[in-house]
Amino acid sequence: MMAWWVRGVPGHLIDRHHDAGLVAVGPDQAERAQATAVFAGGEPYSVDVFDSIPNLRILARIGIGYDAVDLDAATDRGILVTNTPDGPTTSTAEHTVALMMSVAHELNASANRLRAATGDYVNHQRSMELQGRTLGLLGFGRIGQAVSAIAEAIGMRVIITDPASAQSVSIDQLLAEADVLSIHAPATPSTVGLIDADALAAMKPGSILINCARGPIVVTDDLVDALNSGHLMGAGLDVTDPEPLDADHPLLHMDNVIVTPHIASNTQAGRARMETMAFEQVAMALAGDQPTQLLNPAVLDSERN
């Protein structure tokens, strides 16, 4: 058996498991054509990519999101696609709360004022105390639930919008009541562009936007306008659209905005969990067993036919 060691996936993931018969192959076309398994980062997997790996049996996404993977194309070619939904939960939830606290307490602006030795630091500070404030969660899966638990522990009121939850409130109520809006939804046709100029205008004046989900859910230019107008207090973003932002993009030069490079899940512990879980999915598939985190179960029907 062979595995294609793709960009962003460390070799020790395979080196630890020689007993499974996996060896790493290089990224050039001739070598990857021999691969039977792929450990996938966030790079796109299209029809053309799948056709360039004709022996591929499983693509194991190291992470939750799989919007860069053409599931229909994979299914048509009999390729199993899996993810690691439990791996990044803790790390991403903690990163979300870190961004929320950093923006609410104006850490970026305060640190910049200190570097510039502006003085009069107390009178420039306009921090938001989070205890007693309302956190609105757009999406209430594993990460949203973990964020909710931390927020409630520090005394925040939590409301959610999620069609799968009985606790869900309308998106209009979420926007109107949240002091902090935190996004934890996947990028789908119904969520891409959801947080646009109208949605941002519906948010409370002086509120905060946090996005550790997918960049295209927020219309970037509309967010810049809402920040420039002073309608929003600030934003904390681990994902953007485009990603990464150009070095001269205004979001990277605002004191009330913190942007990190899509690394919320990338603690040492979180990365190790995701790698291990991805390997477990590959090992199951190559042993002829059904992976437990299969994203395209329809592929099993095509295998039977």
Q: For residue 152, what are the contacts with CB-CB under 8 A and spacing of at least 6?
A: 158
Q: Which of 32, 61, 133, 262 is catalytic?
A: 262
Instruction: Please confirm, yes or no, whether 95 is among the known catalytic residues.
Output: no
Q: How far is CA 186 from CA 18, 128, 215, 253, 299, in A?
A: 35, 28, 10, 27, 22
Please, where are the H alpha helices in 36-88? 47-51, 71-76
Tell me if the bond preceding 242 is cis, omega within 30° of 0: yes
Q: Which of 31, 94, 177, 243 is catalytic?
A: 243
The tokens describing 266, both together, are 């990338």
C-alpha closest to that of 160 among 176, 152, 171, 149: 171
Q: CB neighbours (10 Å) of residue 45? A: 23
Instruction: Please confirm, yes or no, whether 77 is among the known catalytic residues.
Output: no
> What span, in angstroms and rounded, lies between the C-alpha atoms of 238 and 136?
18
Q: For residue 224, what are the contacts with CB-CB under 8 A and spacing of at least 6?
A: 250, 251
Query: In b/e form, how buried is each residue of 9-19, taking b as 16+ CB within 10 angstroms?
Result: beeebbeebee
Q: How far is CA 185 from CA 66, 77, 96, 163, 191, in A?
A: 12, 28, 13, 11, 8
Q: Which of 184, 214, 271, 273 is catalytic?
A: 214
Alpha carbon 88 to chain centroid distance?
A: 9
> What span, in angstroms and rounded, lies between the C-alpha atoms of 251 and 235?
9
> What span, in angstroms and rounded, lies between the C-alpha atoms of 44 and 293?
20
Q: Which residues are catalytic?
A: 214, 243, 262
